[in-house]
Amino acid sequence: MNRLWLVVKSSIGKKELMALTGFCLILFLAVHLFGNLNIFRGTAAFNWYAETLHSLPAFVKIFEIGLLTIGAIHVFFATILVVQNLWARPHRYSWKRWEGGRSWGSWSMLVTGPYILLFVIFHLLQFTLIDKAGRPISTIVAERFQQPAWVAFYAISMVFVGLHISHGFWSGFQTLGVQNERRGELRSLGLLVSLLFGVTFGAIPIAVYGFKNLLQ
Ligand code: HEM
């Protein structure tokens, strides 16, 4: 308990917790993306995937509680670090030291992070927390993505998700002690991973809008 408190109290401990929870969230996104790709296989495959998941309510509950806890830890420590940096502002280099870099990427985290939090709240309200009234999930997704404004909102949000991952990925590895010489490689890998998530997730609303028979 004492050790955990020491980790939580130190700045580097907080960053390490953010890095670890960030990687768990990336893992969730990978699973979520993989599941959502069933949309491209058509209505039956997508509904089969969703219904199979929901036929395991205990598993889903544990998964959701775990995800919520990990997300809350990530957001909580991000907020604490931002506030601490604001307090430390009179010291000229404090912002530059944050996240171990001075790139525009570390600044962009301050915008993309809160935006993604808002996006997730909207997203849950639209797809998870709504009264489905017996309708299959394919109908709910198809209805949402018939509206150009929501397609645009989702496509833009995926750019934010990509930007957040692109910086979070390499800075997370750096926080966890990957050597400085590998910084270039990690940045490239982060860019690749973020493009993969951004483009593939972003393609879903656009495809559902463009190909009306995809989810019928
Ligand atoms: C265009 C891209 C996306 C589509 C089409 C999509 C679709 C969905 C659908 C249909 C559900 C409800 C599943 C069900 O209740 O059966 C869901 C849940 C969820 N989505 Fe997404 N999603 C997308 C992107 C994202 C992104 C980028 C994030 C995170 C940043 C995210 C986070 C979540 C979370 C946290 C849940 C709740 C999971 C649960 O309750 O187990 N989604 N999504």
Per-residue pLDDT of the chain (216 residues; tens, 9 = 90+): 677 787 778 888 999 999 999 999 999 999 999 999 999 999 999 999 999 999 999 999 999 999 999 999 999 999 999 898 888 766 555 555 544 455 666 789 999 999 999 999 999 999 999 988 889 999 999 999 999 999 999 999 999 999 999 999 988 998 998 877 788 888 899 999 999 999 999 999 999 999 988 897
Q: What is the C-alpha separation between 129 and 132, in angstroms, rounded?
A: 9
Q: What is the C-alpha separation between 184 and 103, in angstroms, rounded?
A: 13
**What domain range includes position 116?**
10-210
How far apart are the CA of 210 and the centre of ligand 1, in A? 20
Atom of ligand 1 nearest to the CA of 119: 30
Number of structural domains (the chain) is 1
Q: What is the C-alpha separation between 197 and 36, in angstroms, rounded?
A: 12
Instruction: Specify the pLDDT at position 112.
Output: 96
Q: Is residue 5 assigned to a domain?
A: no
Q: What is the C-alpha separation between 183 and 188, in angstroms, rounded?
A: 9
Q: Is residue 72 assigned to a domain?
A: yes
Ligand 1 pocket, residue 204 CB under 6 Å:
yes
Q: Is residue 1 assigned to a domain?
A: no
- Going by alpha carbons, the residue nearest to atom 43 of ligand 1 is 127
Q: What is the C-alpha separation between 168 and 181, in angstroms, rounded?
A: 18
Q: What is the C-alpha separation between 157 and 75, in angstroms, rounded?
A: 18
Q: Is residue 4 assigned to a domain?
A: no
* Cβ partners under 8 Å of residue 52, min gap 6: none
How far apart are the CA of 126 and the centre of ligand 1, in A? 9
Q: What is the C-alpha separation between 17 and 137, in angstroms, rounded?
A: 34
Atom of ligand 1 nearest to the CA of 204: 1
Closest CA to 124 of 190, 163, 67: 67
Alpha helix (H) residue ranges in the chain: 2-9, 11-36, 43-54, 57-87, 94-97, 104-127, 137-144, 148-175, 183-210
Tokens of 60: 């889903």
Atom of ligand 1 nearest to the CA of 60: 41
Closest CA to 48 of 35, 58, 59, 32: 35
* Cβ partners under 8 Å of residue 175, min gap 6: 12, 15, 16, 18, 19, 99, 100
Q: Is residue 173 assigned to a domain?
A: yes
Closest CA to 74 of 31, 127, 6, 28: 28
How far apart are the CA of 76 and the centre of ligand 1, in A? 21
Tokens of 2: 């004492």
Q: Is residue 200 assigned to a domain?
A: yes
Pocket test for ligand 1, best of 27, 36, 37, 163 (most atoms within 8 A of CB): 36
Query: Any idea what the CATH number is for the domain that residue 110 is in?
Result: 1.20.1300.10
Instruction: Specify the pLDDT at position 53.
Output: 94
- Going by alpha carbons, the residue nearest to atom 10 of ligand 1 is 127
Q: Is residue 155 assigned to a domain?
A: yes
Q: Is residue 2 assigned to a domain?
A: no
Instruction: Specify the pLDDT at position 99.
Output: 47
Instruction: Specify the pLDDT at position 90.
Output: 60
